Amino acid sequence: MPKVDRLHSWDLDPGEARALQAELAGRVEASTPLPRYETIAGSDVSFDRGGEWLFAAIVVLKADTLEVIERSGVIAPARFPYIPGLLSFREAPALIEAYEALTTRPDILICDGQGTAHPLRLGLASHVGLWLGIPTIGCAKSRLVGRYEEPGQNPGDWSPLLDRGETIGAVLRTRTRVKPLFVSPGHLGNLPGSIDTVMSTIRKYRLPVPTRIAHQYVNELRVQGKTG
C-alpha cells in the first residue's frame, strides 16, 4: 500500500482552505526535470454538482505499452462545497483514498485537473502531489486562469499559458485540429517534462490514455453508485 504524507486536516471552512492553499503553494517543486519512469498513472474525479457523492479513480499503466497494471476506485461523500479555485479540497480526499488502496506505487501521476495553472498555483495535481510525494502533472480540458495565444494545429504544438507575467502552464495541441489541453506541472517536475509526458501517452484521442481510462472507470463507479 503506497504511503502518503498527511499534511493537514480536511475539516476546513473556505477561508481556512484559501489560507492553507497559499501556504502549500510555496512547497510545490515545479522546476526540476521529471525522472525516468516505468509506470504511469491517470486519475479522474467526478461528481454531480450539488450532489453528495464523489467518484474517484486511479489507473496504473506500464509506461512503454500503456497496458493497465492496476486500478482503484472510490465512491465517497463530498465533505467540502463546490467552490471554483478550491476544488482540490473537495476532490483530493477521495483521490488520495483511491491511491492508498493501490498495491503498485506509480512513478508518475497525470491528474485530470490543474497543477500550477491555478490562481494560487495549487490546483488538484499540485495539492495531491504534495500528499503523495510522487511527480504529478495537471492536464485539464479547460482553462481556469491565464491568457494565451492559440497554438499551432499539429500534435505537440503548444503556447505558454501566462498569468501576471509568469508562465504557469502550456496550451497543448495533442491531436490535429482538436481543442488543446491545458498542461501544467503538479509537483516534482517541470513544464517541458510535463508536456513530453502527456504527449507520450496520446494515441487515438485528444486525452492522455491514463486519464481517459481513469475517466472510463469513474463512469463505471457512477453506474455502481446508482444501482448499488
Annotated domain spans of the chain? 34-227
Backbone dihedral angles phi then psi of residue 166, each to the nearest 5 degrees: -115, 140
Angle, helix 14-25 to helix 124-132, in steps of 10 degrees:
70
Query: What does the pLDDT profile of the chain (228 residues) look like in tens digits?
Result: 688 889 999 999 999 999 999 999 999 999 999 999 999 999 999 987 667 899 999 999 999 999 999 999 999 999 999 999 999 999 999 999 999 999 999 999 999 999 999 999 999 999 999 999 999 999 999 999 999 999 999 999 999 999 999 999 999 999 998 999 999 999 999 999 999 999 999 999 999 999 999 999 999 999 887 655
Bridge partner residues of 71 (DSSP): 59
What class is the 34-227 domain? alpha beta
Residues 6+ apart with CB under 8 A from 115: 30, 123, 124, 125, 126, 129, 136, 137, 138, 169, 183, 184, 185, 186, 187, 194
Query: Rounded distance, CA 41 to CA 96, Å?
Result: 13
Please state the pTM of the whole predicted model: 0.96
CB 182 within 8 A of CB 162: no
